[in-house]
Amino acid sequence: MKTLTQTDTQLFHWLFGLTAKRDCRWIIWMSRTGDGHLYLILGLFLWLFEAEHGALFLYSALLAYSLELPVYLILKKFLRRQRPCDLLQNFSAHITPSDKFSLPSGHTAAAFLMASLIASFYPSMLILVYCWASIIGLSRVLLGVHYPSDILAGAALGLSMSYFSLSLL
């Protein structure tokens, strides 16, 4: 476990070092596409205007997010992993995190959940949406608020909740 933590911290330092002295507006913008507003707008748009899959997509998304959110909150509260910006010395993140703990990444969980749903209903979008979700995850490390393993855990959470919700409908 110690080796994993050391590797995670080293990878974090290397990735964050790429942005340490740069203007990060575009990274912040990419991260904000994972804040959740886009998901609601997309779901409602599809529900209103896409007769073939729109309603089922919206119901799947609502179910998946209603399953994902409590699991996410329980994991955060139970694991209580401090964010790199709070734990590491002489370090400042590019943004202020929305909560105290980092594991799992909620932005990444939500992005991979949405990407998985979109890819399931609209397979031609698969590469685009998984690239977008990956960029959101990477942005959270580049901004200094998550370790790489937080991103992997968030992706696993989002994917598993998406697949589970799709299996129920």
| Catalytic residue status for 37 | no
Neighbours of 11 (CB within 10 A): 14
Q: Measured between alpha carbons, how far is 150 from 105 in angstroms, rounded to an integer? A: 5
- By the 8 A CB rule, do 113 and 64 touch? yes
User: Which of 89, 104, 111 is CA-nearest to residue 13?
Assistant: 89
92-115 in b/e form (b: 16+ CB < 10 A) is ebbbebeeebbbbbbbbbbbbbbb
Q: Measured between alpha carbons, how far is 112 from 134 in angstroms, rounded to an integer? A: 8
Set 13, 37, 94, 146: catalytic member: 146
User: Which of 81, 110, 114 is CA-nearest to residue 12?
Assistant: 81
**Catalytic positions, please?**
107, 146
